[in-house]
Chain A
Amino acid sequence: MGKLFAAIVVVVTLVSTAVFLSHAWWMPADISVLGVGIDRQMTETMISSGVLFVISQLVLAAFVWRYSERGDGRPIRIFPGGAAPMVVGATLLVGAEIAVLSLVGSKVWGGIFLSRPDPHALQVDVQAEQFAFYFRYPGRDGRFGTAHPELVDDASENFFGLDPANDTTARDDIVSASLVIPVNRPVLLSLHAKDVGHSFYVPALRIQQDFVPGLVIPIHFTATKITKQEIVCTQLCGLGHYNMRAFMEVMPEKQFEQWLEEQAPQ
């Protein structure tokens, strides 16, 4: 039985490692300026964890294979040095890895979540609701109209609760079901939720951010490729959670300006 156990562990370890290395299921190509840092962190962690994973499983399998009771009267053996090598080894090796990953990782994290957005970033107001995302651009006047929750009326597509009758800044706001942005230009999203918690996730951008009811949360990024990507919700929000998505279209600057013109209310 011990040998069977050891064999299973070895097979499982080698097959799993092979699949990881093959990248058969892997992150999509990165399309953001700050994604490079995340990918580097992921690779470094994958390598160090992978080595640790393979070694510990294979050593466990080897020991189990070797040290079964065979009725040969062989005495038990204590691991050389006792527990001390375990403590020292774990503390030094794991400690060093943690230190490196934390130092580098906190810079990556800070770059995304603690850095100031570009003052000329394109600002988009994002609302998450059961079960769609809506995006609002400030329009020609460059100002967002005020949103009034009591005026929200999905039936007439007034998702944001704007009051164009009385609020002139709201009249030229562009509301879109897709996030359309220009390539290579910083974008600043302001996230708010209409009803319950939601989340914004674009795997290729490598960013994710929860929408928290009652808060307006900023997240900024710069997309580096012309592409169309799915934005999906990753915070359980009700029965339609699986179907809550929007598309992000990254397009050349000129095409984006044209799109804004077309969307502007006549």
Chain B
Amino acid sequence: MARKFVFSLPILVLAGAATIGLAHPAKHAGTISGHVTFTGTPPKMKPIDMAKEPSCAKQHSTPLLNESVVTGPNNALGNVVIYVSAGDQGGAAATQPVRYDQKGCEYIPHVAVMDVGQPLEIYNNDQTSHNIHPLAKVNPEWNKSQPPGAPPIKTAYAKPEFIAVKCNVHPWMHGYFAVLKTPHHAVSGQDGSYTLEGLPPGKYTLTAWHERFGTQTQDVTVGEKAATADFVMKATPY
């Protein structure tokens, strides 16, 4: 009786190990995920009055809030760009165009992340003219009008930079282009969560950037298990 038990134990252990292996498949290794939250009091975001542009105003049944600080439940902070700033073994730049929309006199997404050299396509979906003006300091600065019905602007940026984007015609329209060397980047959602994928095991430095609350870095090691890295930013009311 004891000999049978002794024989089955290794089988059970092996089966158990295999089961555990199946429950946590190898692909979870190479991922960093986490949450971005804030401490302190963030500023109250004001509703944007688009009265001067009635065709946009009527697209928002409740007025759009200013998007420079986007918060969620449990002090979550959105629109934070998290990217690998060191330790990256690189990878080919994505060739899929990044789409930037001007819709309802809003830039969608508020922060667009792209690789250096990745195509960027800017669309005007509104009944009014926009003049998008990315205020680049390292890359060439330009601005371009798109009357309603104009074709999309197709461009790309050659150098990494965080570029503030404004509309020359509508002063409330602001956004960002985050042009990054690394293909490993993400933007936190309104719930503050983000995930970076496709990372070979190794030591990495992550940088989190927010347009008002600055940047923070964190070292993360990616091993067999999925790694997590949470960021806490200091919010100020003004």
Question: Are A and B in contact, CB atoms below 8 Å, in the complex?
Answer: yes
B-contacting residues of A (Cβ < 8 Å)?
A: 129-133, 154-157, 159, 163-165, 176-178, 238-240, 243-247, 265-266
Supposing A164-B238, A177-B52, A244-B52 touch, asked if A157 and B66 sit within 8 A by C-beta, the answer is yes
Does B49 lie within 8 Å of A178, measured CB to CB? yes
Is there contact, CB below 8 Å, between B48 and A157? yes
Q: Which 4 A-B pairs have the closest CB atoms?
A: A177-B49, A165-B238, A155-B174, A240-B169
Residues of A contacting B237 in the complex (Cβ-Cβ under 8 angstroms): 165
**Most chain A beta-carbon contacts within 10 A, residue among B49, B68, B145, B212:** B49
| Least distance between A89 CB and chain B CB atoms (Å) | 52
Nearest B residue to A243 by beta-carbon distance? B169
Query: Total contacts A to B, CB within 8 angstroms?
Result: 65
Say yes or no: A157 contacts B238, CB within 8 Å. no
Q: How far is the CB of B40 from chain A (nearest CB, A)?
A: 13
CA distance A104 to B129 in the complex (A): 45
Chain A residues with CB under 8 Å of B211's CB are 155
Could you tell me if B168 and A265 are in contact, using CB atoms closer than 8 angstroms? no
Known A-B contacts A157-B66, A177-B52; the reply to A266 vs B44 at CB < 8 A is yes
B170 and A132: CB pair below 8 A?
Answer: yes
Task: Contacts A155-B68, A176-B49, A177-B49 given; indicate if A239 touches B44 (C-beta within 8 A).
Answer: no
Residues in B with CB closer than 8 Å to A155 are 68, 164, 166, 174, 211
User: In the complex, A10 Cα to B238 Cα: how many Å?
Assistant: 69
Q: Which of B150-180 contact A (CB under 8 A)?
A: 164, 166, 168-172, 174
0/1 string, B215-238, CB within 8 A of A gives 1: 000000000000000000000111
Cβ-defined contact, B44 with A243, below 8 A:
no
Residue of B whose beta carbon sits closest to that of A249: B51
From A194, which residue of chain B is reached at the shortest CB distance?
Answer: B171
Instruction: Please tell me which one of the listed residues A238, A243, A265 contacts residue B52 in the complex, with CB atoms under 8 A apart.
Output: A243
B49 adjacent to A243 (CB under 8 Å) = no
B85 at the interface (CB under 8 A from A): no
Given contacts A156-B68, A165-B238, contact A130 B168 (CB under 8 A): yes
Which residues on A sit within 8 Å (CB–CB) of B50?
177
Apart from A131-B169, A245-B52, 15 more pairs, CB < 8 Å: A129-B171, A130-B168, A131-B171, A155-B68, A156-B68, A157-B48, A157-B68, A163-B238, A164-B238, A177-B51, A240-B168, A243-B53, A243-B169, A247-B51, A247-B52
Of the candidates A177, A239, A246, A247, which one forms a contact with B168 in the assembled complex, judged by CB atoms under 8 Å apart? A239
Contacts of A240 in B (CB 8 A): 131, 168-169
Instruction: Known A164-B238, A239-B145, A240-B131; judge A154-B166 contact (CB<8 A).
Output: yes
| Given A154-B174, A159-B171, residue A246 in contact with residue B52 (CB < 8 A) | yes
Collect the chain A residues with CB atoms within 8 Å of residue B168's CB: 130-131, 238-240
B137: interface (CB < 8 Å): no
A265 partner residues in chain B, CB cutoff 8 A: 44
Residue B43, interface by CB 8 Å:
yes
In B120-140, which residues have CB < 8 Å from any A CB?
128-129, 131
Q: Given that A129-B171, A239-B131, A265-B44 are known contacts, is A246 also in contact with B238, CB under 8 Å in the complex?
A: no
Given contacts A130-B168, A131-B171, A243-B52, contact A157 B46 (CB under 8 A): yes
Cα separation A266 to B212 with both chains bound (whole Å)? 21
Residue ID in chain A nearest B175 by CB atoms: A155
Q: B212 → chain A, closest Cβ, in Å?
A: 7
Most chain A CB within a 10 A radius of its CB, from B128, B168, B169, B171: B171
Distance from A156 Cβ to chain B, minimum over Cβ atoms (Å): 4
Query: Cβ of A176: which chain B residues have Cβ within 8 Å of it?
Result: 49
The reply to whether A239 and B52 contact each other, CB–CB distance below 8 Å, is no
20 contacting pairs across A/B (C-beta < 8 A): A129-B171, A131-B169, A154-B166, A154-B171, A154-B174, A156-B43, A159-B171, A165-B236, A177-B50, A177-B51, A178-B49, A239-B145, A240-B131, A243-B52, A243-B128, A243-B129, A243-B169, A245-B52, A246-B52, A247-B51
Most chain B Cβ neighbours within 10 Å, of A155, A163, A176: A155
Task: Name the CB-closest residue of A to B176.
Answer: A155
